[in-house]
Amino acid sequence: MEPWQWDEAEWRGRVEHVRAGRSLKPASWPGGARCAVALSFDSDHETNELRDGGNSIGRMSWGQYGARRGIPRILSVLGRESVPATFFVPAVAALLHPDEQRRVIAEGHEIGLHGWIHELNSVLPEAVERDLHFRAADQLEKITGIRAVGMRTPSWDFSPSTLKIQRELGLIYDSSLMADDDPYELVEDGVPTGIVELPVEWIRDDAPYFNMDRFKGLRPHTPPPAVLDIFIREFDRAHEEGGLFLLTMHPHVIGYRSRIFIVEELIRHMKARGGCWFATHAAVARHCATGPTAGR
Ligand SMILES: [Zn+2]
C-alpha cells in the first residue's frame, strides 16, 4: 500500500511508535552550573569498512589511524583539560583495540554501546538486532569490567525494535535521536519508558563537515575554523538557555593535526565563559532522570 492510501491508524502509529515525551531539562545542573557539556567520540575505527562487508586495505588503514593517532591525541587534550567524555565503541572495534578501551576507562571516561560491527539496525530482524546488542554489551563488559548503561546506535540508525531492546538491556539512556536540544524521556506507543534521550544533531557532528568520497562528488566544504564557529554558536546558545551542549566527534575525523585545535579551542572557550558542568553522558542522564525538571 502507498503512503497516501494509509488510514490514520497506520500513519499515526508510525509517528507515535517512538516519540519524545516530557522534557527532562533539569531545574538546575550540579554545582550550580549554568549548562552541561557532554562530549562524545564514536570510536568506529575499522568497523566503518567491515560493516559494509568491505575489504579495502586503504580504508582499514584510515580506521587504524583513528585508534593509533586519533584516540591518543584526543585523550591527551581531555587529560590536559580534565574534561570527561563518552566513547561509543562497536564491540568489534573494542576486540581489535582492547587496551585502548581499558585506557579510556582508566582515564575517567565512559564507554557506551555502539552496536556489534557498526551494523545498521533498521535492516535487521528484531531477533538478530537483539542478539547483537546483547553480545556487544557482554563483550564491552568483559574488556572494560564495566557494564555500559547507554547506547548510541551506529549511524544513529534506530529501528522500530531498538527502544524495546534498550529496555530489555536495562539502559538508562540513548543518544541517537533529535527531537529536542535538551534531554527528554522516550515514549514507546504512548507509554513513558524512563529512558533518557540525550539528543544528537548533524549540526553538532564533525563527520558531515569533513568526510569525503574519493570517487564521488562528496568533498569537505566547511573549513575547520568555520566548524569551530558553528560548535561555539551551538554552545553559546545552550549556555544562555541553561541547557545541554552535546557534541559527537570521531577519532578518524577530528583527531588530525589540522583539526584537533577545534576540541582544544572549544573547551577553552567554554571554560572562559564559565559555569559549565563537564560530564559523561551517563552522569548527565542520571542527573536528568532523578532531579526536578525545568518544567518546560
Ligand atoms: Zn559510529
| Local confidence pLDDT in tens for the 296 residues of the chain | 899 999 999 999 999 999 999 999 999 999 999 999 999 999 999 999 999 999 999 999 999 999 999 999 999 999 999 999 999 999 999 999 999 999 999 999 999 999 999 999 999 999 999 999 999 999 999 999 999 999 999 999 999 999 999 999 999 999 999 999 999 999 999 999 999 999 999 999 999 999 988 888 778 789 999 999 999 999 999 999 999 999 999 999 999 999 999 999 999 999 999 999 999 999 999 999 997 888 76
Q: How far is the CA of 8 from the centre of ligand 1 (A)?
A: 35
Distance, in Å, from the CA atom of 202 to the CA atom of 189, rounded to the nearest integer, reads 26
Q: How many A from CA of 150 to the centre of ligand 1?
A: 14
Cα–Cα dist 255/260, whole Å: 5
Say how many Å lie between the CA of residue 207 and the centre of ligand 1: 10
Q: How many angstroms separate the alpha carbon of residue 287 from the centre of ligand 1? A: 25
d(C-alpha 72, C-alpha 93), whole Å: 16
CA of 264 to the centre of ligand 1 (A): 22
pLDDT of residue 296: 62
Distance, CA 4 to ligand 1 centroid (Å)? 34
Cβ distance 73 to 264 under 8 Å? Answer: no
HSE-up of residue 41 (Cα within 13 Å, Cβ side):
29
What is the separation of C-alpha 139 from the centre of its chain, rounded to a whole number of angstroms? 19
pLDDT digits (tens, 9 = 90+) for 272-289: 999 999 999 999 999 999
**Number of C-alpha atoms within 13 angstroms, CB side, residue 136?**
32
Distance of CA 1 from the midpoint of ligand 1 (Å): 34
Residue 236 class from Cβ within 10 Å (0-12 exposed, 13-18 middle, 19+ buried)?
middle
The CA 19 to ligand 1 mean position distance, Å, reads 23
In the reported structure, the alpha carbon of residue 46 is separated from the centroid of ligand 1 by a whole-number distance in angstroms of 10
What is the C-alpha to C-alpha distance for residues 241 and 182, in angstroms, rounded to an integer? 10
Distance 117 CA to ligand 1 centre (A): 9
Ligand 1 geometric centre to CA of 186 (Å): 21
Beta pairing partners, 113: 89, 151
Could you tell me the distance, in angstroms and rounded to a whole number, from the CA of residue 232 to the centre of ligand 1?
Answer: 23
pLDDT for residue 50: 96
Ligand 1 center–CA 274 separation, angstroms: 31
| Paired sense of beta strands 35-42 and 191-197, if any | unpaired
d(CA 46, CA 23): 36
559494509: which residue's cell?
A: 52
| Crossing angle (nearest 10°) for helices 126-144 and 98-106 | 70
Q: What is the pTM of this model?
A: 0.97
The 3-class SS string of 49-108 reads HHCCCCCCHHHHHHHHHHHHHHHHHHHHHHHHHCCCCEEEECHHHHHHCHHHHHHHHHCC
Render pLDDT for 9-35 as a digit per residue (tens, 0 to 9).
Answer: 999 999 999 999 999 999 999 999 999
Residues 6+ apart with CB under 8 A from 236: 273
Q: How far apart are the CA of 237 and the centre of ligand 1, in A?
A: 26
